[in-house]
Amino acid sequence: MYRPVPRRPAEIAFGVVSGLLLLGGTTVTAGLSFVMLFVPDGCGSSPMSGQRVCDGTGYLEVLAAPWVSLVAAVLLAGLGIALARRRGRTPWPALFPAVLVHLAGLGFVYTSVRG
């Protein structure tokens, strides 16, 4: 009969922290996407009319970059977790590069909108 291996408290804590980071990243990205819907509204009446977002060439990148970076961060964390589990090490260091990847995507959006 198959019995699942009981989880250690460190694995449970890692799952909780990973879930909270994913929930926070999704919430921030969804809020940012909602705000980005209104960015082109000021294109004709503000000094930002020369931005790429107002030309129509950078608007899709601004909307997609946070979601792409979030998916890339989740995949990177999953890869790090798989490698750590295979080597018998702790998976905690896999979270740091994943957070950096998502922050890079958010930074790209900021520099695209603000110039």
Encode the chain (115 residues) as per-residue pLDDT tens digits: 667 666 677 778 888 899 999 999 999 999 988 888 887 776 766 665 556 677 767 778 888 889 999 999 999 999 988 888 888 888 888 899 999 999 999 998 888 777 6
Give the model's pLDDT for residue 46.
63
C-alpha 37/C-alpha 16 separation (Å) is 32
pLDDT at 12: 81
> What confidence score (pLDDT) does residue 49 get?
53
Separation CA 113–CA 92 (nearest Å): 33
Is residue 7 in some structural domain?
no
Is residue 62 a part of any domain in this protein? yes
Q: Is residue 66 part of a domain?
A: yes
**Does the residue 5 lie in any domain?**
no
Looking at the domain assignment, is residue 95 inside a domain? yes
* Dist CA 10 CA 71 (whole Å): 25
Domain containing residue 18? 13-38+52-114
